[in-house]
Amino acid sequence: MSGDSADVTSQSDVARTAARESDAPTLLGKGVENSPLEHGRAYLQRLRGGEMGALPAIGGLLVLFVIFHFANDLFTTPRNMANLITQAAPLVVLGMALVFVLLLGEIDLSAGVTFGVAMAVFVKYTQPDGLSWPVALLLSLGIGFTIGFVIGFFVARIGVPSFVVTLGLFLGLQGVILMIIGAGGTYRLIPEPIKAIQNSNLAPWEGWALLALVLAILVGVAMWDRVRRSRAGAPNPSIWIPMVKLIAIAAVGVAFVLFLNIDRGGVNRAIQGVPIVVPFVLAIGMVGTYVLDRTRFGRYMYAIGGNREAARRSGVNVTLIKWSAFVICSSLAVVAGLLFVSRVGSADASTGREIVLSGVAAAVVGGVSLFGGRGRLMHAAVGALVIATIENGLGLLGFSAGATLAVSGGVLILAATVDALARRRSGAVT
Amino acid sequence: MNQPIIELKSVTKSFGPVNVLKGIDFTAHEGRVTALVGDNGAGKSTLIKGLAGVQPYDGGEVLFEGEPVHLHHPRDASRHGIEVVYQDLALCDNLDIVQNMFLGREEMATGAFDEGRMEVEAAAALQSLNVRTVSSLRQKVASLSGGQRQTVAIARAVVKQARVVILDEPTAALGVAQTEQVLNLVRRLADNGVAVVIISHNLQDVFQVADDISVLYLGSMTARLRREDTNADDVVGYITGTKSMEAMA
Rounded to the nearest angstrom, the minimum Cα separation between A88 and chain B is: 30
Interface test with A, best of B101, B135, B166, B205 (most A CBs within 10 A): B135
- Region A199-215: mean pLDDT is 95
Residues of the domain holding A255: 201-274
Q: Is the pLDDT of residue A343 over 70?
A: yes
Q: Is residue A270 part of a domain?
A: yes
Q: Is residue B1 part of a domain?
A: no
- The per-residue pLDDT for range B5-36, each reduced to its tens digit, is 999 999 999 998 888 898 889 999 999 999 99
Burial of residue B175, with CB atoms counted within 10 A of its CB: 0-12 exposed, 13-18 middle, 19 or more buried: buried
Q: Is residue B12 part of a domain?
A: yes
- The pLDDT score that the predictor gives to residue A52 is 74
In this complex, is the C-beta atom of A346 within 8 Å of any C-beta atom belonging to chain B? no
Q: Is residue B122 part of a domain?
A: no
- A356 and A309 belong to one structural domain: yes
- Model confidence at B127, pLDDT cuts 50, 70, 90, reads confident
- A239 and A375 belong to one structural domain: no
In this complex, is the C-beta atom of A1 within 8 Å of any C-beta atom belonging to chain B? no
Q: Is the pLDDT of residue A347 over 70?
A: yes
Residue A180, CB half-sphere, CA atoms under 13 Å: how many? 24
Distance CA A281, CA A417 (A): 29
Q: Is the pLDDT of residue A10 over 50?
A: no
- The pLDDT score that the predictor gives to residue B223 is 84
- A327 and A248 belong to one structural domain: no
A238, A254, A274 — which closes off a domain? A274
Rounded to the nearest angstrom, the minimum Cα separation between B224 and chain A is: 28
Q: Do B143 and A9 touch (CB under 8 A)?
A: no
Interface test with A, best of B88, B145, B171 (most A CBs within 10 A): B145
More confident residue, B192 or A139: A139
- A112 and A58 belong to one structural domain: yes
Among A residues 350-389, those touching chain B with beta carbons less than 8 Å apart: 373-374
In this complex, is the C-beta atom of A225 within 8 Å of any C-beta atom belonging to chain B? yes
Coil vs helix vs strand at B37: strand
Residue A283, CA distances (Å) to A65, A162, A190, B189 in order = 25, 28, 25, 47
- The pLDDT score that the predictor gives to residue B174 is 80
- A227 and A295 belong to one structural domain: no
In this complex, is the C-beta atom of A105 within 8 Å of any C-beta atom belonging to chain B? no
- The per-residue pLDDT for range B50-86, each reduced to its tens digit, is 898 888 899 889 999 888 998 888 778 888 889 888 8
Distance CA A358, CA A14 (A): 45
Distance CA A241, CA A228 (A): 17
Distance CA A326, CA A330 (A): 6
- The pLDDT score that the predictor gives to residue A14 is 43
- A98 and A132 belong to one structural domain: yes
- Model confidence at A389, pLDDT cuts 50, 70, 90, reads very high
List of residues 6+ apart from A181 with CB closer than 8 A: A120, A124, A187, A347, A348, A349
Distance CA A348, CA A337 (A): 12
Distance CA B85, CA B93 (A): 16
- The pLDDT score that the predictor gives to residue A238 is 80
Instruction: Evaluate the CA torsion angle B109, B114, B116, B120 in order and state its sign.
Output: positive
Interface test with B, best of A2, A7, A10, A423 (most B CBs within 10 A): A10
Residues of the domain holding B170: 6-90+163-240
- A256 and A176 belong to one structural domain: no
Q: Is residue B40 part of a domain?
A: yes
Q: Is residue B141 part of a domain?
A: no
- The pLDDT score that the predictor gives to residue B1 is 56
Q: Do B135 and A25 touch (CB under 8 A)?
A: yes
- A269 and A295 belong to one structural domain: no
User: What's the full length of chain A, in residues?
Assistant: 430
In this complex, is the C-beta atom of B116 within 8 Å of any C-beta atom belonging to chain A? yes
* Contact residues, chain A, for B115 at CB < 8 Å: 225, 228-229, 234
- A86 and A170 belong to one structural domain: yes
Contact assessment for residue A122 and residue A136, using Cβ atoms and an 8 Å cutoff: yes
- ipTM, 2 dp: 0.83
Distance CA B33, CA B194 (A): 9
Identity of the residue in B92, B135, B146 whose CB atom sits nearest the CB atom of A306: B92
Q: Is the pLDDT of residue A144 over 80?
A: yes
* Contact residues, chain B, for A315 at CB < 8 Å: 74-75, 78, 104-105
A251, A274, A297 — which closes off a domain? A274
Single-letter residue type at A373: G
Burial of residue A272, with CB atoms counted within 10 A of its CB: 0-12 exposed, 13-18 middle, 19 or more buried: middle
Q: Is the pLDDT of residue A27 over 50?
A: no
**Where is average pLDDT lowest: A36-40, A360-364, A384-388, B211-215?**
A36-40
- The pLDDT score that the predictor gives to residue A3 is 40
More confident residue, A149 or B239: A149
Identity of the residue in A30, A290, A373 whose CB atom sits nearest the CB atom of B137: A30
- A248 and A332 belong to one structural domain: no
Rounded to the nearest angstrom, the minimum Cα separation between A241 and chain B is: 16
Rg (CA), chain A: 23
- Model confidence at A248, pLDDT cuts 50, 70, 90, reads very high
β-strand partners of B80: none
Query: What's the CATH code of the domain at A344?
Result: 1.10.3470
- Region A131-148: mean pLDDT is 95
* Contact residues, chain A, for B99 at CB < 8 Å: 299, 303
Q: Least CA distance to A296: which residue of chain B?
A: B106
More confident residue, B119 or A117: A117
- The pLDDT score that the predictor gives to residue A21 is 41
Give percent above pLDDT 90 in chain A: 61
Residue B131, CB half-sphere, CA atoms under 13 Å: how many? 31
- The pLDDT score that the predictor gives to residue A408 is 85
- The pLDDT score that the predictor gives to residue A235 is 81
A278-317 burial code (b ≥16 CB/10 A, e <16)? bbbbeebbbebebbbebbbebbbbbbbbbbbebbbbbebe
Instruction: Evaluate the CA torsion angle A216, A258, A396, A116 in order and state its sign.
Output: positive
Q: Is the pLDDT of residue A301 over 60?
A: yes
Identity of the residue in B103, B116, B145 whose CB atom sits nearest the CB atom of A20: B145
Number of domains, chain A: 2
- A161 and A95 belong to one structural domain: yes
Q: Is residue A332 part of a domain?
A: yes
CA angle B32, B37, B42 (to 5 degrees): 140
More confident residue, A275 or B3: A275
Q: Is residue B33 part of a domain?
A: yes
Distance CA A228, CA B107 (A): 12
In this complex, is the C-beta atom of B76 within 8 Å of any C-beta atom belonging to chain A? no
- The pLDDT score that the predictor gives to residue A255 is 94
Distance CA B169, CA B202 (A): 9
β-strand partners of B140: B96
User: Mean pLDDT score of chain A, rounded to an integer?
Assistant: 87
- A293 and A246 belong to one structural domain: no
Residue A10, CA distances (Å) to A3, B119, B145, B154, B178 in order = 10, 29, 9, 19, 9
Number of domains, chain B: 1
* Contact residues, chain B, for A16 at CB < 8 Å: 145
Q: Do B106 and A296 touch (CB under 8 A)?
A: yes
Residue B68, CB half-sphere, CA atoms under 13 Å: how many? 5
Distance CA A305, CA A29 (A): 27
In this complex, is the C-beta atom of B78 within 8 Å of any C-beta atom belonging to chain A? yes
Query: What's the CATH code of the domain at B200?
Result: 3.40.50.300
Q: Is the pLDDT of residue B203 over 50?
A: yes
* Contact residues, chain B, for A4 at CB < 8 Å: none
- Phi, psi of B216, deg, nearest 5: -100, 135
